[in-house]
Amino acid sequence: MALLRDPLLNKGTAFTEEERDALGLRGFLPAHVFSMQAQADRVMANLRGLTSDLAKYVALNELHDRNEALFFRVVSDNIDEIQPLIYTPTVGLACQRFGYIFQRPRGLFIGPNDRGHIAELLNNWPYPAKLIVVTDGERILGLGDLGANGMGIPVGKLSLYSACAGVHPELCLPVMLDVGTNNEALLNDPYYIGLRQRRLGGAAYDELVDEFMTAAREVFPGVLIQFEDFANHSAFRLLQKYRDKACVFNDDIQGTAAVALAGLLSALRATGGNLNDQRLLFLGAGEAATGIADLVVSAMMAQGASEAEALRRNWLVDSRGLVVKNRPGLSEHKLRYAHEQAPIGDFLTAIRTLKPTAIIGVAAVGGAFTPEVLQAMTEINDRPIVFALSNPTSKSECSAEEAYRHTEGRALFACGSPYDPVQLNGKTLVPRQGNNSYIFPGVGLGAIASGARLVTDEMFMAAAYTLAHLVDEADILQGSLYPALPRIREVSAHIGAAVAEVAYRRGLATGHVPNDLIGHVQSQMYDPHY
């Protein structure tokens, strides 16, 4: 019976006659032995019969809890259809409704009451974790503070690690640092699963995180830790604190940066432009915006620009308008992009003044790329670059259809949430999601395969260039700035090899460089089958 209750070992009706006899399963299962493909077909038939995406999320979650090999087979074989259900945009709704749909705990919940005992708690985990995705739930997507309900994000991210990059699910550990929530609706929600108190802050918060980081590395030596959906005031600080002494990265800062840089490089193949001639205007000035800008600056410098020249080509707009040098009270992460310029209060005026070649939306302000904004970009540029990267869909700056229609089909568009192809003037334009799932699974795979001691910005630069290189001419011609999602395991393998190469070259890896690096990476990829 234990086999049937362990999702890592359960095969359900696919246990063979021989296995049923050898493992004491006789009588627990109906007579017919199904192939894995037949099981997967049944799952998809049932899934397609459900009428809401949230119901599909719940059904897939049930499968994940019951039979992991079958779950990952279904996800891998139907990635276009399933990824939006297990991650953005549906995971946002699932986190908002987490207390209502909660069935079975997955991962570890760690809170202030566990202080002094976090190592013991981590030792309760029965598997040898090599990868932890951790959140405190304070900034879930563009939805804000969802507290412990944000556990859906680490679970979803790790599902993509296994499906998209073949990191074995046994090695993956989702962690929720449940330090409370300032969301009044959740504090008053009878179904809320988390700690019913205001958020822990200050020194007590830092001490909890520090104990977790120390314990995680002691219990799981060499573990890769991904920070996910921390609020700005924690995200930058924690990354700076740990990045030079532990194998950590922040996907919202570094992963988003790499996928955006890759999209920008692909767009320049369509325009024939040079990276150092671009001017980028960001709607948003938080983790994503400054992370992208930092990586773009590094890429411009690698192509010969001075740091001052590169910085001057990246501008931020926040809730108070254009970030400029003489504005008082700027937070530290904005200061690098606070240039000499008269104050400008709105995004449209900033476009008309600065004349950017690209606008990048990462502020989670739905509909912010208005028809006037898109038309202004078209007046300035023959092929305006328009990235509406906020998610879920309700927070997207514009839809694909709006981006193409208001730029006469000339926009080079990438999105944070999935959109269907758009028919315009007899042409089919195929937008692709600038989703971090193109980057972080491969980065994690490469770090694990090489035994990297640190994750560096150079690795994310290598990931971005590798991803851009994998976009083919047919993609570019139809307006797609990223490879087709069904190629994601191939993409992740190449990114993993590029990341591992940096680790070996910089002396950050364990062991000797393999003769066949991509073969070495591919050999470590989990293939879900019986």
* Closest alpha carbon to 248 in 206, 217, 278: 217
DSSP string, 308-346: HHHHHTEEEEETTEE-BTT-TT--HHHHTT-BS-----S
Distance CA 334, CA 325 (A): 10
Phi and psi, residue 404, nearest 5°: -75, -45
CA 413, CA 407: separation in Å to the nearest integer?
A: 10
Q: Residue 17: helix, strand or coil by DSSP?
A: helix
Do 291 and 252 touch, CB atoms closer than 8 A?
yes
Is residue 419 part of the annotated active site? The answer reads no
| Cα separation, 159 vs 172, whole angstroms | 9
Which of the residues 57, 87, 438, 526 is marked catalytic? 87
Q: In sequence order, what E strands does 158-300 have?
A: 172-177, 224-227, 248-250, 280-283
Q: Give the dihedral of Cα atoms 419, 420, 425, 427; nearest 10 deg.
A: 120
Residue with tokens 């599902």: 159
Long-range contacts of 149-152 (CB under 8 A, 24+ apart): 149/95, 149/96, 149/98, 149/99, 149/186, 149/192, 149/193, 149/194, 150/95, 150/98, 150/176, 150/229, 151/95, 151/98, 151/106, 151/107, 151/109, 151/176, 152/91, 152/94, 152/95, 152/98
The β-bridge relationship of strands 314-318 and 321-322 is: antiparallel
Give me the count of residues in the chain: 530
CA distance 491 to 507: 24
3-class DSSP state of 227: strand
How does DSSP classify residue 198? P
Q: Which of 11, 157, 334, 395 is catalytic?
A: 157
Distances (CA, A) of 460 to 253, 331, 499: 11, 25, 8
Active site residue 130: no
Q: How far apart are CA 258 and CA 463, in angstroms?
A: 7
Q: What are the two backbone dihedrals, phi and then psi, of residue 248, each rounded to the nearest 5 degrees?
A: -135, 155
Q: Are 407 and 384 in contact (CB under 8 A)?
A: yes
What are residue 63's phi and psi, to 5 degrees? -65, -45
Q: What amino acid positions are annotated as catalytic residues?
A: 87, 157
